[in-house]
Amino acid sequence: MNSKLPQAGTTIFTVMSTLAREHNAVNVSQGFPDYEPTAELLELANKYLLGGYNQYAPMPGAPALRETISQLVTHCYGATPDPDKNITITAGATQALYTAIATLVHPGDEVIVLEPAYDCYVPAILVHGGVPVYSRLREPDFSVDWQDVKQKITKRTRAIIVNTPHNPTGAVFSAADLQTLAELVSDYGIYVISDEVYEHMVFDDRPHASVHRHAVLRDHAIVVSSFGKTVHATGWKIGYICAPEKLTTEIRKIHQFLVFAVNHPLQLALAEYLRVPEHYTHIHAFYQRKRDLLRRELADSRLKLLPCAGSYFQLVDYSAIAQERDTDLAVRLTKENKLATIPLSVFYHDQHDPHLLRICFAKQDATIKKAAEILRGL
Ligand SMILES: Cc1ncc(COP(=O)(O)O)c(C=O)c1O
């Protein structure tokens, strides 16, 4: 068998969650909540499951959900995407990103990937014959080195993938980052794939620097988001793509043969639930409180806390405690201390290891406190 992804194994998230179960460890590794969506949303799911909506949804997504997304984007960012021409419902952000990459990347095309990077971008580039070109985010704040990005643009560069708020570092873009990105796009004619799945989790009264806010970027970008994060239902795997009409036409050609259509009753439940802006406008406060709880609990530990401006991940620097590789430490912590985290090096193609672990704080307060107690004991 001539593998298309010879390097790919089981993702670190599956590895660490499996290890956590085997060792009965507190699991702050994989990014999913250990609490349920609201009762109201579950009741809506029930209503549509029992209400005769169990056959295929329309290929681009239920019109009601596309309408709700258009209203959400207007409410949050002031843009007015057309539900018919710009919005496509996908099976989570993973399928959205795969479809976006499949749409843009031809064999030999280069795609700029900012590292550390979420793990589904590069395999999709490789499967389509593309070439990932890496630019490292600057430590310790994990800001983009735009000079480096610029130097890496060639005639073959087709796209750049950006992610704000950022998994795994919790860094966020500023308006200046958007402006610089817009200048690159205009100067070099490249596309942007903007992964904004944590769009409602930006803290300390900062606005989310969404590509939706920037007219130049909107015309050259495929924006991806996911409801899994926003409504505490990562298992529903429903997300969306927002793109200019010409790109949407091409995106849907691929989408229709990849999944054709996405879970119909749950799309309708989300459409009705998210028509109420309060169901997404309070999410940042909900997670900011959890971030602050974790940081308070770790304040007198020997770990150094890196800034966390968004997402539901906190990075901790363990160099005062251990000098071993982060992957070794993460496994040892799970087995010996009963705490599962994610080592940062797995997000780099060259396993760069700045001695950082990622902690997910989308957890009940009791789980956060238990995790912090273990970490304080190190
Ligand atoms: C940055 C980022 N992009 C995409 C995804 C995938 O989202 P989904 O579960 O909707 O496929 C995740 C999930 O953790 C993520 O963190």
| Judgement on whether residues 178 and 293 belong to the same structural domain of the protein | no
Tell me, in angstroms, the distance from the centre of ligand 1 to residue 200's CA.
14
* Integer angstrom CA distances of residue 197 from 250, 259, 301, 322: 22, 20, 31, 33
Residue 252 lies in a domain: yes
> Rounded to 5 degrees, what are φ and ψ at 3?
-65, 140
- Regarding whether 59 and 146 lie in a shared domain, the answer is yes
pLDDT computed for residue 75 by the predictor: 98
* Same structural domain, 338 and 264: no
Do 109 and 178 reside in the same domain of the chain?
A: yes
Please give the helix or strand (H or E) that residue 331 lies within, else none: helix 326-332
Q: How far is the CA of 378 from the centre of ligand 1 (A)?
A: 31
Name the band, by pLDDT with cuts 50, 70 and 90, for residue 3: very high
Q: Which residues contact 9 (CB under 8 A, 6 or more apart)?
A: none
pTM score: 0.98
Task: Indicate the pLDDT class of residue 23, thresholds 50, 70 and 90.
Answer: very high
Question: Atom 1, ligand 1: which residue's CA is nearest?
Answer: 167
Domain count, the chain: 2
**Nearest residue by C-alpha to atom 14 in ligand 1:** 31
CATH code for the domain of 328: 3.90.1150.10
Mean pLDDT value across residues 173-178: 98
Helices marked H in 129-242: 146-152, 175-188, 215-218, 227-230
Same domain, 165 and 258: yes
Is the torsion defined by CA of 295, 19, 97, 63 positive or negative? Answer: negative
pLDDT tens per residue, range 277-330: 999 999 999 999 999 999 999 999 999 999 999 999 999 999 999 999 999 999
Query: What value does the mean pLDDT take over residues 188-215?
Result: 98
For residue 13, the ligand 1 atom closest to its alpha carbon is 14
- 3 state SS of 297: helix
Asked if residues 173 and 182 have their Cβ atoms less than 8 Å apart, the reply is: no
Residues 223 and 287 in one domain: no
Residue 47 lies in a domain: no
Q: Which residue has the tokens 């789980």?
A: 367
pLDDT band at 10 (very low <50, low <70, confident <90, very high): confident
Quote the pLDDT of residue 158.
98
Alpha carbons 352 and 158: distance in angstroms, whole number: 26
Angle at 233 between CA 229 and CA 235, to 5 degrees: 110
The per-residue pLDDT of the chain, averaged, comes to 97
Confidence of residue 11 (pLDDT cuts 50, 70, 90): confident
Residues in contact with ligand 1 (CB, 6 Å cut-off): 31, 92-94, 118, 163, 167, 195, 197, 226, 228, 234, 237, 239
Residue 205: left (phi > 0), alpha (psi -120 to 50), or beta?
Answer: left
Alpha helix positions (H), 219-315: 227-230, 245-258, 264-273, 278-281, 283-297
Note whether residue 254 is domain-resident: yes
CA of 28 from ligand 1 middle (Å) equals: 16
**Do 258 and 314 sit in the same domain of this protein?**
no
Separation of CA 325 and ligand 1 centre (Å): 26
Mark whether 183 and 291 lie in a shared domain: no
Q: Among 30, 142, 197, 202, which residue has the most ligand 1 atoms within 8 Å of its CB, making it the best to mutate?
A: 197
Q: Indicate if 191 and 319 belong to the same structural domain.
A: no
Report DSSP letters for 23-68, one per residue.
Answer: TT-EE-SSS--SSPPPHHHHHHHHHHHHTT--SPPPTT--HHHHHH
Residue ending a domain, among 250, 279, 308, is 279
Residues 90, 234, single domain; the answer is: yes
Segment 25-41 shows an average pLDDT of: 96
> In the listed set 233, 263, 279, which residue is the last one of a domain according to the structure?
279
User: Do 84 and 194 belong to one domain?
Assistant: yes
| Same structural domain, 272 and 308 | no
Domain of residue 294: give its range: 12-30+282-376
